[in-house]
Structure 1
């Protein structure tokens, strides 16, 4: 019951963060689930709840979605899913926390190193492949997809809306790869189905609250704040990975 309550609360609070910044919330929620559950089960449950959360975020901001970007990004995601389906991979808590800790470093890369533009089809395809792969390994890929928007002229609403669909693709991939675990006894012991459904509803409510806040901040606040938020979160999870490695 305590684990279920924590998951529901985390689903709500982290969805608020995602609703505002289009990232960071998923990283925090993945960390909470990995702390509470076995790594593979955490990836599966994260996929289900975050898929619903991002789908809801898409519905709220759907008029801002840039569909031309998503076509090529989707091709890269499908290619990545096909590749990782052929690779035998067993996620562990160490690998998940390491991925959660290191991925935020990407937001600090100098723009001149990776001048990516989501409107460039090859950048979008490559971003889809890498993003989806990281999602299957560590559960999240927000900082990767964020790099695709560094050199675009899209506003904050377009970024949040388009990234919602991008991230939903990654979560759908996790469901396809790890979702079968949710039907096993371990999943039923870890979290009851009603709690999962409540967590999905809580994530949707959090997205609505985040969307309300998003309308009240400027583009400058949006771009500067999320870099620091994801960095602080990443540092905390990198510390956790080091603790596991030294244990």
Structure 2
């Protein structure tokens, strides 16, 4: 009961963060649930909750979605899905936390070194491949996705809306990728009771709505600045956690 309530509370809080920044909420939520259950179970729960969060956010901001960008991203995502199915890779907890902690470094890559711009078709294809690959290996791909959007000329609403659709589709794939093998382990998997997910869904929708309303208070410049700072702090905490699990600290 306590674990279930913690998952619900974390889901609502992280939905507010995601609604406000378009990312980071998923990063926080994955860290919390990965500490409570197996990696595969955490991937499924994260996928379910985040698909609801992103789905509701994309619905609220549907008029700002850039469907042309999403089409190019799909072309990059398909081969990434095929590669992950062939490799059948599942990280352990140490690998997961290290990956979660290192992903935010993408936000600090110098523009001249590797400029990502999702409005360019070739970059959008690469974005789709990276996001899908990371989401199926690390469980989170928001910072990588943001790397391709922070440098565009899109407004904050267009960024959040288009990224929400991208992550919604990516999370559905993640649910199937980790969930199907997990369900075959009858009596072994540690998925939470179904009531936890049922209650978490409306909580996530409400949190997303609140975060989207708070989004109105940010300027485009401030939005990008605070996103980088927040995700970097979270990443540093996860790197420390991963090193502890590896007995390096």
User: Mind listing any 5+ residue stretches in structure 1 that lack a counterpart?
Assistant: none
- Alpha-carbon separation, structure 2, partners of 1:112 and 1:198: 46
Tell me the CA shift for residue 190 of structure 1. Answer: 4.6
- Alpha-carbon separation, structure 2, partners of 1:105 and 1:72: 24
Contact 2:104 2:232 in 1 (8 A): yes
1:74-98 Cα offsets, whole Å, 9 max, x none, are 1111221111111121221111101
The residue number in structure 2 matching 1:194 is: 195
Contact 1:12 1:203 in 2 (8 A): yes
Name the TM-score, length of structure 2 as normaliser.
0.95
The residue number in structure 2 matching 1:57 is: 57
- Alpha-carbon separation, structure 2, partners of 1:78 and 1:208: 31
Equivalence map 1:112-131=2 (5 Å):
112-131=112-131
Contact 1:73 1:127 in 2 (8 A): yes
Query: What RMSD in Å do the two structures reach over aligned CA positions?
Result: 1.4
Give aligned pairs, total: 246
Tell me the CA shift for residue 112 of structure 1. Answer: 1.2
- Alpha-carbon separation, structure 1, partners of 2:231 and 2:70: 24
1:153-187 Cα offsets, whole Å, 9 max, x none, are 10000000000011112211211201222574345
Structure 1 190/41 Cα, relative in aligned 2: closer, same or farther at 3 Å? closer
The residue number in structure 2 matching 1:239 is: 240
Structure 1 186/200 Cα, relative in aligned 2: closer, same or farther at 3 Å? farther
Contact 1:19 1:214 in 2 (8 A): yes
The SS at the match of 2:160 is helix
Q: Which runs of 4+ in 1 moved over 6 A?
A: none
The residue number in structure 2 matching 1:43 is: 43
Equivalence map 1:1-247=2 (5 Å):
1-180=1-180, 181=182, 184-187=186-189, 190-246=191-247
- Alpha-carbon separation, structure 2, partners of 1:182 and 1:56: 27
User: Mind listing any 5+ residue stretches in structure 2 that lack a counterpart?
Assistant: none
- Alpha-carbon separation, structure 1, partners of 2:198 and 2:212: 21
- Alpha-carbon separation, structure 1, partners of 2:240 and 2:167: 25
Higher helix share: 1
